[in-house]
Each structure stands twice: as C-alpha cells, then as structure tokens.
C-alpha cells in the first residue's frame, strides 16, 4: 500500500505488515494513516474474512509511536495525534472481521496497544511486551490504560503501566495477554493456520459474536445475555445458520457465504 504499510491477501486472509524495520516498525503519522487505509480496504473487501497484523523482520512487531514525532510537539498537536491513533485502533477493534496480532519481537507502547485492539494475540518466543511511556515522563495514550486492565486485570495492568516494566512472551501467556507462544520461525504459519480456520466460519456468526463480546463486556451479566440472545436471533435470520445446520445433518462441510 505504501512504503510503511504493506498489505497482501492469501486466499480469504488479509495480511497487514508494518514495514519500518529500520525504525523497529514504530508508527508515525504517515504510517498511522496508511494503517487506517489498510483497515478500510479490508473492511470493504468481502473476499477477506480474517486479518493478520504483524511487523516486518524478526526483531519488532511495533515499537510504538515514533519518538522523533514528539520532539517539541505542542500539547494540542499531541492531543490530535493521540485521538487519531485511538480512532484508528478503535476501527481495528470494531471491524466486523476477526483480527489476529502475530507479535514478532518487541511490542512496546503503541505497538502493544495495537495488539490489544486485535481479537487474538499470538507471540513468538522472542516477543517482549511493555508500556514504557512512564520512563519518558508520559503514560500510554492509544488506549493502553483502558484495554490492558480489561485484558489482564487491574493489578497486573497497573504494575506494567506505572513501572514501565516489560514482560516476556511466556509471562504474557501466563497472564492471558496472548493465546499462544511459538518459535519465531513458526509464527507466520501458526497465525495463517488460525486465520484460515476463522475464514472457514460463517462471517455473519463471527461478526455478531464479536459484537456481542465487545459491546457487553462492561455491562452486567443480564444485559449481556439479552444482547447475546438478540445477536443470535440475527444469526438465525440469515442463510448461513441454516447452511451450518443442514451441513451437520448431512455430514458435509458447510459452505458459508455471509448471508
């Protein structure tokens, strides 16, 4: 797409690769805009049913915001940049398609926040996670103070955010931040395998299940259950549900169309 964000499609899986290897795949305003464009491309492409985000090379998934952008920045410029970054990550989180973060190497600051906006996170054994902004006299501003507590709980999140400490891939798996850890050489294939598995599902059921999870997460159980029931009723109104049931009864693989 640009010289900072590369996109490619393999069957029904769309890939987004941050291509700023010389900057540890850190994101500046231009690369954020390119990421925004890539998200919109895949949102509107019905042939893409799952998305994988990763970083170029083996050292970094994304080292966060490019610090050079913050030199002599005015407060209102900082506010605009933060709000735009939050908007881009919210678009990613709210995509009607599942998004996998294949974390290869460092996921720091905005890079970790980018991974938190994805539905599924898997990591290579050399991955390192952290929100080190406090070490620069700052704190996370791309949603990290909100999404990390929801992912791992208040105590762990506060420890990471307030100390700026980093954790290994194995520790990230222990606390539930990532769903799995694999050798670096196997990460892309592992991510592709999960993505293909998701791409074989009904796009409608995945979309509505994702919405039910995201929208009900901060509500009480009863309200969440009501939303779940409504979303499932919407699934039943489409043809994919009947196709799935018929395929099961006929002992064959379902052919989902998203209808």
71-75, 82-86, 202-206: which range is least confident on average? 71-75
Global pTM reads: 0.94
pLDDT of residue 3: 79
Q: Which of 13-17, 71-75, 239-243 has the highest mean pLDDT?
A: 13-17
Q: What is the pLDDT of residues 159-175, one digit of tens each?
A: 999 999 999 999 999 99
Q: Which of 21, 133, 243, 250 is catalytic?
A: 133
pLDDT of residue 37: 96
Into how many domains does the chain fold?
Answer: 2
Rounded to 5°, angle at Cα 92 from 106 and 98: 95
Nearest to 122 by CA among 65, 196, 165, 172: 172
Compute and round to an integer the Cα radius of gyration of the chain. Answer: 19
Secondary structure letter of residue 182 according to DSSP: E
User: Catalytic annotation on 94?
Assistant: no
pLDDT of residue 2: 66
User: Catalytic annotation on 173?
Assistant: no
Residue 156 within a domain: yes
Q: Which of 11, 93, 94, 113 is catalytic?
A: 113
Are residue 240 and residue 135 in the same domain, yes or no?
no
Place of tokens 């939303």: 227
Nearest to 25 by CA among 48, 45, 49, 54: 54
Nearest to 108 by CA among 35, 25, 191, 19: 25
Are residue 178 and residue 128 in the same domain, yes or no?
yes
Are residue 158 and residue 104 in the same domain, yes or no?
yes
Q: What is the pLDDT of residues 85-139, one digit of tens each?
A: 999 999 999 999 999 999 999 999 999 999 999 999 999 999 999 999 999 999 9
62-71, 129-138, 185-194, 242-251: which range is least confident on average? 62-71
| For residue 1, pLDDT beyond 60 | no
Q: What CATH number has the domain bearing residue 73?
A: 3.90.226.10
Contact 206, 169 (CB under 8 A): no
As a whole number of angstroms, the distance between CA 239 and CA 106 comes to: 43
Domain assignment of residue 238, given as a range = 203-249
pLDDT of residue 68: 78
Are residue 136 and residue 233 in the same domain, yes or no?
no
Q: How many CB atoms lie within 10 A of CB 149?
A: 16
Q: Which residue has the higher pLDDT, 41 or 70?
A: 41
As a whole number of angstroms, the distance between CA 193 and CA 73 comes to: 43
| For residue 69, pLDDT beyond 90 | no
User: What angle, rounded to 10 degrees, do the helices at 221-236 and 203-216 form?
Assistant: 160
């Amino acid at each position: 797409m640009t010289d900072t964000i590369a996109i490619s499609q393999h069957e029904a899986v769309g890939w987004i690769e941050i291509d700023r290897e010389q900057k540890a795949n850190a994101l500046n305003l231009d690369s954020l805009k390119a990421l925004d464009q890539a998200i919109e491309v895949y949102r509107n492409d019905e042939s893409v049913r799952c998305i994988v985000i990763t970083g170029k090379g083996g050292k970094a998934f994304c080292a966060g915001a490019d610090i050079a952008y913050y030199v002599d920045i005015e407060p209102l410029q900082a506010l605009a940049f933060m709000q735009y970054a939050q908007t881009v990550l919210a678009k990613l989180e709210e995509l009607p398609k599942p998004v996998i973060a294949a974390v290869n190497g460092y996921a720091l600051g905005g890079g970790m926040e980018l991974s938190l906006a994805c539905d599924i996170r898997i990591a290579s054994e050399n991955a390192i996670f952290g929100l080190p902004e406090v070490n620069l006299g700052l704190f996370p501003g791309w949603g990290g103070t909100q999404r990390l507590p929801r992912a791992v709980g208040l105590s762990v999140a506060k420890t990471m955010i307030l100390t700026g400490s980093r954790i290994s891939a194995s520790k990230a798996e222990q606390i539930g931040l990532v769903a799995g850890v694999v050798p670096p050489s196997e990460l892309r294939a592992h991510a592709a395998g999960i993505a293909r598995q998701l791409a074989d599902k009904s796009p409608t059921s995945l979309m509505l299940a994702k919405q039910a999870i995201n929208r009900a997460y901060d509500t009480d159980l009863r309200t969440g259950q009501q939303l779940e029931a409504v979303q499932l009723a919407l699934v039943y109104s489409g043809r994919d549900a009947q196709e799935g049931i018929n395929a099961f009864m006929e002992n064959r693989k379902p052919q989902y169309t998203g209808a």
